[in-house]
Amino acid sequence: MEFTAEIRKATEPIYQKISKAVPEIEWPSHAPYIYEINRLKKEKNAVILAHNYQTPEIYHGISDFSADSLALAVEASKTKANIIVMCGVHFMAETAKLMSPNKKVLLPDMSAGCSLSSSITGEDVRNLKKKYPGVPVVSYVNTSADVKSETDICCTSANAVKIVNSLDVKKVIFLPDDYLAKYVASQTDVEIISWKGTCEVHEQFNDFEINEIRKNNPGIKVIAHPECPPDVIKASDFTGSTSGMIKYVKYNQPEKVMMVTECSMSDNVQVDNPNVKFIRPCNLCPHMKKITLPKILDCLRNETNEILMSNETIEKAKKSVERMAEIGR
């Protein structure tokens, strides 16, 4: 697409905002897409929801709402738009559809998965329920609709402890993230039966790396996502969801910070916090990175890659997400 003078002028304020996160040489290739996507979304009454791990040109250039997975699910239930384009991974688009079954929900790349979501099936959950009869199932929102259909209540990293405590029981099945389960177990008296799923991005971090970074950067604040292994969480100053981590930086304004999570988030948060120095871990989520401006434009223009589910699946799966949304953050 051509980078015309009109497009340069119209997108200049966006570029000024993100110039520290996007090299100038890349702008002529992004700007025409940003211009056309922003025009088309108005024409079609579409809303673009973006997860915090999306790249800066998506996060700052075209999204109407960017957030963690809990807030994306809630926003999907409230939007007045006709079309939701989910710039995130498949379970996020499915969750948006469950929250807004009458809307058209599009995912720019249908193969954008998640190692946690693919670690467990509905059949696995049915077997767990047979093994532990009567024990409620709490599923991380990073699961398929089939798993949600077998679930009593969902949770995200922002409310996992609150959801588990809300059930007022002695024992829960908590799946599929074994590390998040361990984190929750450290914060509650409820006994946790977990599953052996892990996030392929967060499992790569270790405490040795964090201790080395602390040695070389005295005074640095280390903030970690609860999908990280327990030794990493122990070595950190704060643990929270992606939005929890963003708030930590916004309100504490540390001189230096390391966000122990997916790499793009530091780029996005840097834009709004110019006085904070970010030490960047570079672990990218290969699924999140499948979402690109050309794919977003293509699916919005042609209304392709629609999330479709049977009414029966929607009815069964949405209850667990709605229960979570009622409890909130």
The residue (of 115 and 266) whose beta carbon lies closer to ligand SF4 is: 115
Provide DSSP, 300-320: HHHT-SB----HHHHHHHHHH
Cα–Cα distance for residue pair 153/131, rounded to 1 Å: 19
Q: SS3 for 185?
A: helix
CB 9 to ligand 13P: min, Å: 35
Please report whether residue 139 would count as binding ligand 13P according to CB under 6 A.
Answer: no
Query: Which listed option, ligand 13P, ligand SF4, none, makes contact with residue 200 (CB within 5 to 8 Å by class)?
Result: ligand SF4
Interface with ligand SF4, residue 115, by CB under 6 A:
yes
Under the binding rule (CB under 6 A), the answer on residue 199 touching ligand SF4 is yes
> Smallest gap, in angstroms, from Cβ of residue 296 to ligand 13P?
19
| 83-87, strands of its sheet edge to edge | 65-67, 46-51, 83-87, 104-106
Contact between 199 and ligand 13P by CB under 6 A: the answer reads yes
| 34, two tokens | 């940003």
Nearer to ligand 13P, 89 or 137 (CB): 89
Q: Which residues pair with 65 in a beta bridge?
A: 49
Check binding of 57 to ligand 13P (CB under 6 A). Answer: no
107 in contact with ligand SF4 (CB under 6 A): no
Residue 225 beta carbon to ligand SF4: minimum distance, rounded to whole angstroms: 8
Task: State which of residues 14, 31, 114, 307 lies at the interface with ligand SF4 (CB under 6 A).
Answer: 114
CB 203 within 8 A of CB 176: no
Q: Which residues contact 134 (CB under 8 A, 6 or more apart)?
A: none
Amino acid at 146: D
Does 288 interact with ligand SF4 (rule: CB under 6 A)?
yes
Q: Of 68-76, 129-137, 183-191, 301-309, which segment contacts ligand 13P by CB under 6 A?
A: 68-76
- Residue pair 301/51 in contact by the 8 Å Cβ criterion: no
Total number of residues shown for the chain:
329
| Beta carbon of residue 49, minimum distance to ligand SF4 (angstroms, whole number) | 15
68 binds, among ligand SF4, ligand 13P, none (CB under 5 to 8 A by kind): ligand 13P
Residue window 201-240: x/- pattern of binding to ligand 13P, with contact defined by CB under 6 A: ------------------------x-x-------------
Distances (CA, A) of 55 to 18, 25, 33, 291: 11, 16, 14, 9
115 interface partner picked from ligand SF4, ligand 13P, none, CB below 5 to 8 A per type:
ligand SF4
Based on the shown chain and the rule CB under 6 A, indicate whether residue 264 belongs to the binding site for ligand 13P. no
Rounded to whole angstroms, how far apart are CA atoms 200 and 121?
18
Reported as half-sphere exposure (CB side, CA atoms, 13 A), residue 77 has a value of 15
Amino acid identity for residue 60 in this structure: H
Piece of 108-116, 164-172, 209-217, 289-297 that binds ligand SF4 (CB under 6 A): 108-116
Q: How far is CA 99 from the centre of its chain?
A: 16
How many chain residues bind ligand 13P (CB under 6 A)? Answer: 12
Q: What is the DSSP string of 251-279?
A: HH--SEEEEES-HHHHHHHHHH-TTSEEP
- Which residues of this protein are in contact with ligand SF4, per CB under 6 A? 89, 114-116, 142, 199-201, 227, 262, 285, 287-288
- Which residues of this protein are in contact with ligand 13P, per CB under 6 A? 52, 68-70, 142, 156-157, 199, 225, 227, 241-242
